[in-house]
Chain A
Amino acid sequence: MVDEKIRVLMSKPGIDGHWRGGIVVSRALRDAGMELIFGGFQNVEQCVASAIQEDVDVIGLSIHSGAHFAYTKRLIDLLEEKGVKDQIMILVGGVIPARDFSELKAIGVANVYGPGTFTRDIVDFIKENLKK
């Protein structure tokens, strides 16, 4: 019997208090049949430790502070250092200016979701791209 579930860690690096987006997306992923581990406020080290111990397929970063480059770069470096970067898809969501999308993707983020995103697009993206 195979009972594989997509596991996603939802993390809020830093302490900007905007929880709603991360919660809405988490709920959508739950309702799409995924196992969502809600990390809440985590620094980058805590996020990576959680991702490893929970053996997640995806890390979702919910960032509304404007510090998306700083956090994402540190996260990717640390995942690389721990030897798991190639095994985990990184998604970033929140108040991210559209002009920053391509640079985030260039440093290793699989996709970026700003305000107005349909949650089903996130679900579809994860399901399609994890198969590859």
Chain B
Amino acid sequence: MSEVKEIPAVWIGGGTCGGCSVSVLNTVAPSIKNILIDEVVPGRHISLKFHMNISGGSGDPVIRAIEDTGKQHKGGFVLIVEGVVPTAEGGVFCAVGEKDEKPIPFYQWVVDLGKKAMAVIALGTCSSFGGIPGARPNLTGVKSVMDIFKAEKITTPLINIPGCPPHPDWFVGTVARILIAGLPTPEDLDDLLRPKDFYGLLIHENCQRRSYFDEGKFAKRFGDPGCLYELGCKGPITYADCPIRQWNNGVNWCIKAGMGCQGCTQPEFPDFLGSFYEKLTDVDVPKIGAYWKGRED
């Protein structure tokens, strides 16, 4: 039997609802069991040193496990950050464990482990862009990992996997890419550090209801056929492959289920310019198709 290479990983959570973790549990092939137990690709196993919802232990032993990973595997482990990083008032709004009877701010973990990691994955819109906790009035001074890395001049490769939550394939696919082909190059990522493989096209470009838009057939109430643009769909400004990939093993996705896209992979989420249920304002939506010729309002 050939030797299995262990890739250490640490998954830390800050200001999070846990939804990104739960979404990753929904991965189909590989399954979450494959990811935790088996070789995720032949000869490579991810050794998840810490995860808040899965770890067997509690208390000091798991805190030591995180610290030891940083020391023993410097430059060789993947750091996964879920949730926002509160920065107001010294980061007191969220801390992980204690040292010398003092709490360790989550901010500190992100900086310390971020410097030591081989690569950092900001998983979810919270750690990528601020997300829901960063919505106005942002009382806790929430920042994204990207902003903290800029401020602290941390140059560790960073990949954003936004989504509220992200699709499990976006995360698993990114990890698989790192294991099989190495870290993504700058050309593989968009200007918001999202892998183009998953975030390269607008929802609007591949939408199942696109033909309704082109024909100008707009749903006026929920449950009706038609494009959901006038019911608040954010698909025209949102980058993600949901229409092709679909969700939960491909059974459904937001627009198929009759609700507009909520724009959850975007830095504008959730504030945008208005309600989730109101038509986009001040957005230049491409008007394609014969119906629109001469009919633009």
Decide whether A and B assemble into one complex: no
Which residues of B approach A to under 8 Å, CB–CB? none
Which residues of A approach B to under 8 Å, CB–CB? none
